[in-house]
């Protein structure tokens, strides 16, 4: 005797409910967390560079004319310096991943 079970999963609907769809809530949360966790690593003289960052859905833009020079050439002072996003991920990557997982799990 055999039993046949048909399982129909609407993966797109589940992903949307969890905020995992393209440009969804999880992506926006991830982008915000990257900016928040990167903040202590962004070079700061007056704070204009870090305070004028613009969060898009899947990117962060630093619109100041000197942002590129700071990103590639800043010698740094403490945590702050060049390649701030990469250094943040190297040091705080696990915290970033855990916060995104917690966000997704809260979305029931």
| pLDDT given at position 108 | 62
**pLDDT below 50 — which residues of the chain?**
none
Stated pTM of the model: 0.84
3-state secondary structure of 33: helix
| pLDDT given at position 15 | 77
Q: Please tell me the distance from the alpha carbon of residue 12 to that of residue 21, in angstroms, as a whole number.
A: 7
| pLDDT given at position 18 | 78
Q: Please tell me the distance from the alpha carbon of residue 99 to that of residue 33, in angstroms, as a whole number.
A: 8
Q: Please tell me the distance from the alpha carbon of residue 24 to that of residue 27, in angstroms, as a whole number.
A: 5
């Amino acid at each position: 005797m055999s039993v046949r079970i048909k399982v129909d999963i609407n993966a797109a609907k589940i992903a949307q409910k969890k905020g995992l769809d393209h440009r969804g809530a999880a992506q926006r949360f991830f982008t915000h967390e990257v900016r928040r966790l990167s903040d202590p690593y962004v070079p700061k003289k007056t704070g204009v560079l870090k305070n004028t960052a613009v969060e898009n859905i899947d990117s962060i833009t630093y619109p100041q004319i000197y942002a590129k020079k700071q990103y590639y050439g800043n010698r740094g002072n403490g945590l702050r310096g060049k390649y701030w996003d990469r250094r943040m991920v190297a040091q705080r990557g696990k915290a970033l991943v855990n916060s995104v997982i917690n966000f997704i799990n809260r979305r029931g």
